[in-house]
Structure 1
Amino acid sequence: MRRTDYEVFDLGDFALQSGTTLRGAKLAYKTHGSLADDRSNAVVYPTWYSGRYWENEWLIGEGMALDPTRYFIIVPNLFGNGVSSSPSNTPPPFDRARFPHVTLYDNIRAQHRLVTERFGIERLRLVTGWSMGAQQTYQWAVAYPDMVERILPFCGSPRTSDHNKVFLEGVKAALTADTAWQRGWYDTQPWTGLRAMARVYAGWGFSQAFYWQERWRDLGYTSLESFLVGFWEGFFLDGRDANNLLAMLWTWQRGDVGATPGFDGDTERALASITAQAIVMPAQKDLYFPPEDEEWTVSHLRQAELRIIPGVWGHFAGGGLNPEDTAFIDAALKELLAR
């Protein structure tokens, strides 16, 4: 599936934290609703690892918290996702394996330029997001505390844990073991590597209890193997490019709000600088963003509540697949926006 109903903000030659310049950088985004005359109803809802803007739409709709009849919802695409500047769409010489390393802070600086320069927005009613979208949510609140009123990060963290990094190393190893990868200079996607990556990911995205209870049947699959092929392999073969996945993985592994300029790597001090009201929502059985990690996060925030998404859907409790989880997240968003 590929859609083209988005807009592009040209960033020009965009200097990155690494010291490299991303030439002709482009930030793709989709908006929902209308910006109020006083620009007071803006919400930023970033994409997640491998996600494209349309894959955020399950949480947007009339009558929901992110109601486009009430709010102006901006969905910026993560660098590397194939819509914003990415290895797959950047011209030589910075294409494919030569695409520069981009941090979460780089992403949020680009989004800040979009929000302020294109729309003239000075305050954000809310920033929210799932997984790497949650990491961007935290980064927004640290980098621009006077601008962000509320945050609701779900199934994500302000600093990528060592265990999370190890999980991602397994994913990366499966993908790059395919000889067709050719160290990023392939002409045809390394399909075997992508399928292997999907099999590794399958053991992490959902919980042990999800598989014990055969909840994959809720998604219409009739056997475990059909789920592994149809859902997981299908997920990574759906227009997702290997170099793009590796670029975003690099960003994810190095996620840390302490790397924001001015904090010298001190994550706790960065978290303490957040002034936004927060509801932090890990999933009960998330295998790589577990609730205990976010208990630590909340202990360093000024005004935050930990609210755990119950159930067995693991990390994908935040993926819009289970109606009960969607209703739980939506209810928390409504409550936070009403404060």
Structure 2
Amino acid sequence: MDYEIFELGDITLQSGVTLPNAFLAYQTYGELNEKKDNVIIYPTAFGDQHVQNEWLIGNGMALDPRKYFIIIPNLLGNGLSSSPSNTPPPYDRANFPQVTIYDNVTLQHRLVKEKFGIEKIALVVGWSMGAIQSFQWAASYPDMVERIAPFCGGAKTWPQTYVVLDGMKAALMAAIGFDTSKLKELTSEHMRAVGRVYAGWGTSQTFYKQELYRELGFNSLEAFAVGVWERSFMQMDPHNVLAMLWTGQHADISANPTYNGDFSDALKSIQALACIMPGSTDLFCTAEDSKYEAKLVPNTEFKPIDSIWGHFAGRGINKEDNQFIDKNLKQLLDNSVS
């Protein structure tokens, strides 16, 4: 097992449901220094586990484990942290409770404080649903978080993003005729259609037009659809996916007792230095939405990733995009916090 487990005990979620014996799976890179001020939190995105984040960590990179102590907490529902697939009855599979981004970050805060005794975080960085967790960290713990770098992801799920996620959910529910009493009949095979739905949103129109999938070793559009979209989604547990889809659809950094739904107030309350990097051709976490949010965050640099890789400009696949993200993270980490 290439990760650690932090036992949370019985936790009461935002929904009011108590999830017994909950736990966070996490992995660390580098060493915590004596001052405990070299900490980077790097939450996972929808469907990802900590290994999918490792492309952004390395010697000589912004997230250099020789310099920083990097913690990757796994999202609840992703199959490693408490999830429908690994929770015993009565909260297993279709009975897993609804979990919010706020729940995730609150529990990650417990990990950081209780396990490591950390009081200051140099940076919270994340892609997609990892991006919204970075915003949540800064809004929930403004005195603790010094910098954030969300990329290809917003501070809430805007209607367009909601609709995309709803289409993915509908593809899965169609397999059981939208009959919620049959949820336990869902299998990974039913995830095939979900992958096909997501295929139209993960990259841009230009990506497909220029057949960039050939750079990834696929000689046809069909081979790419099967080899990437179908394959990656069929490796996921359908109940885990439904849980993460709910988390994603209801994501909003102001949907908690601190801000009571005042989204502008939540963004304006962020004290961290921020570098917001949307993908210029992202079809469902749009640069336009990120630009609106960036105007409300006090200490922000808005740096779109000029890429035809769409949402996947932040996925660690395209070299130029990776270098752009890394360069901006270095600049952000070099900026002193007053």
Fold equivalence (TM over 0.5): yes
1:149 to 116, 125, 146: 146
Distance 1:242 1:218 in 2: 30
Distance 1:66 1:261 in 2: 33
Distance 1:65 1:126 in 2: 11
Aligned length: 333
Aligned to 2:331: 335
Distance 1:143 1:308 in 2: 25
- Contact 2:277–2:305 (Cα < 8 Å) also in 1: yes
Deviation at 1:190, TM superposition (A): 4.5
Aligned to 2:279: 283
Distance 1:236 1:210 in 2: 20
Deviation at 1:175, TM superposition (A): 1.1
Deviation at 1:237, TM superposition (A): 1.8
- Contact 1:176–1:183 (Cα < 8 Å) also in 2: no
Aligned to 1:30: 27
SS at structure 2 position matched to 1:258: coil
Following superposition of structure 1 onto structure 2, how do residues 116-195 of structure 1 map, counting pairs within 5 Å?
116-179=113-176, 183-186=182-185, 189-191=187-189, 193-195=190-192
Aligned to 1:80: 77
Does residue 203 of the first structure (1) align with residue 228 of the second (2)?
no
- Contact 2:176–2:183 (Cα < 8 Å) also in 1: no
Task: List alignment gaps of at least 5 residues for structure 1.
Answer: none
SS at structure 1 position matched to 2:125: strand
CA RMSD of aligned residues (A): 1.1
2:299 to 298, 303, 310: 303
Residues 181-200 of structure 1 deviation map (CA, whole Å, 9 limit, x = unaligned): 963213x7141x21100000
- Contact 1:97–1:183 (Cα < 8 Å) also in 2: no
Distance 1:56 1:34 in 2: 18
Task: List alignment gaps of at least 5 residues for structure 2.
Answer: none
Aligned to 2:36: 39
Deviation at 1:228, TM superposition (A): 0.3
Residue type matched to 1:319 in 2?
A: R
Does residue 234 of the first structure (1) align with residue 217 of the second (2)?
no
Residues 46-72 of structure 1 deviation map (CA, whole Å, 9 limit, x = unaligned): 000000111100000111000000000
Identity over the aligned pairs, expressed in percent?
Answer: 54
Deviation at 1:178, TM superposition (A): 1.1
SS at structure 2 position matched to 1:286: coil
Aligned to 1:112: 109
SS at structure 1 position matched to 2:274: strand
Distance 1:142 1:179 in 2: 39
Aligned to 2:8: 11
Residues 201-231 of structure 1 deviation map (CA, whole Å, 9 limit, x = unaligned): 0000000000000000111111100000001
- Contact 2:126–2:134 (Cα < 8 Å) also in 1: yes
Aligned to 1:322: 318
Distance 1:183 1:207 in 2: 35
- Contact 2:188–2:234 (Cα < 8 Å) also in 1: no
Aligned to 1:256: 252
Residue type matched to 2:128 in 1?
A: S
Distance 1:87 1:206 in 2: 29
Aligned to 1:223: 220
> How does the TM-score come out when normalised to structure 1?
0.97
SS at structure 1 position matched to 2:254: helix
Distance 2:219 2:106 in 1: 45
SS at structure 2 position matched to 1:233: helix
Deviation at 1:260, TM superposition (A): 2.6
Distance 1:179 1:287 in 2: 29
Distance 2:92 2:258 in 1: 31
Tell me which stretches of 4 or more aligned residues in structure 1 moved more than 6 Å: none
- Contact 1:13–1:25 (Cα < 8 Å) also in 2: yes
Aligned to 2:262: 266
Per the alignment, do residues 190 and 8 of structure 1 end up closer, same or farther by CA in structure 2, a change over 3 Å counting? Answer: closer
2:96 to 93, 96, 99: 99
> How does the TM-score come out when normalised to structure 2?
0.97
- Contact 1:178–1:190 (Cα < 8 Å) also in 2: no
Distance 1:284 1:152 in 2: 16
